[in-house]
Amino acid sequence: MKSIILIAPPAGGKGTQSSMLKEEYNLPHISTGDLLRGASNNDSEISMQIKAILKEGKLVPDEIVMSLLKDRITKEDCNNGYILDGFPRTVAQAISYEEILKELGKDEGYVILLNTNKEDAKARIANRVSCPKCGRVFNNIIEDLKPQVENKCDDCGSDLIHREDDNAETYEKRYNEYLEKTQPLIDFYKDKNLLYEVDNNVDVDYTFAQIKEIIGE
């Protein structure tokens, strides 16, 4: 099994599809957002820096992201592949990631673009809630993603929270950065004949079926 890179605009369903792929193929789901939030849970200077950047909806400097990611994919559970959610975001990150893969002797795997309507994604993010304990994400307007018990995590029973950076104003900033920084990444992978595209505007099961067809395992 190869690793899988998912590319989509903010709130474009990367986390949802990653969770489904994790369950289907027993691969670790690596969200750089979760890595950064985990690294920010202390009182160090770098922790404060990460918190401020995430709150403003901006991208964290590459050297921080690359260090955290390299450490994560060298763990034993990544030996048979993994799912990358939210990385790479830029061509520079993609090139640095390729260098890490060569150093570690890992395959680049599948790069899958989730084509998503902007307004649909904005509505999703305004209604997105997550578990602060286990990290599972829910959505109050998407039937398949609603928690079974209102405001409670299905997995661990913790109270769900609405992240401070999940709001319309921050979304506009994040989406504009996506267009500026990530669209060239899409072209980069197209030029390398590594990019697969799926329609992400019907429902989560339809998107997942397309991804499974690409993977073919």
Per-residue model confidence as pLDDT tens digits over 168-214: 778 888 888 888 888 899 999 999 999 999 999 888 899 999 999 99
**Annotation marks residue 124 as catalytic:** no
Low-confidence ranges of the chain (pLDDT < 70): 1, 217
Closest CA to 211 of 86, 130, 93, 109: 109
The residue annotated as part of the active site, out of 133, 163, 173, 212, is 163
Bridge partners (DSSP) of residue 13 are none
pLDDT at 29: 92
Residue 19: the pLDDT is: 87
What local confidence, expressed as pLDDT, does residue 166 receive?
A: 76
pLDDT at 217: 63
CATH code where residue 19 lies = 3.40.50.300
The residue segments making up the domain with residue 31 are 4-215
Does 89 participate in catalysis according to the annotation?
yes
Q: Which residue in the list 72, 89, 106, 136 is annotated as catalytic?
A: 89
pLDDT of residue 1: 66
Q: Give me 66's structure tokens.
A: 């690359």
Contact 211, 21 (CB under 8 A): yes
Identify the sign of the CA torsion 167, 64, 85, 89. Answer: positive
The pTM for the full model equals 0.73
- Rounded to 5 degrees, φ, ψ at 120 are -65, -40
163 in active site: yes
To the query of whether residue 136 is one of the catalytic residues in this protein, the response is no
Counted domains in the chain:
1
- Verify whether residue 72 is a known catalytic residue: no
Side chain identity, residue 22? K
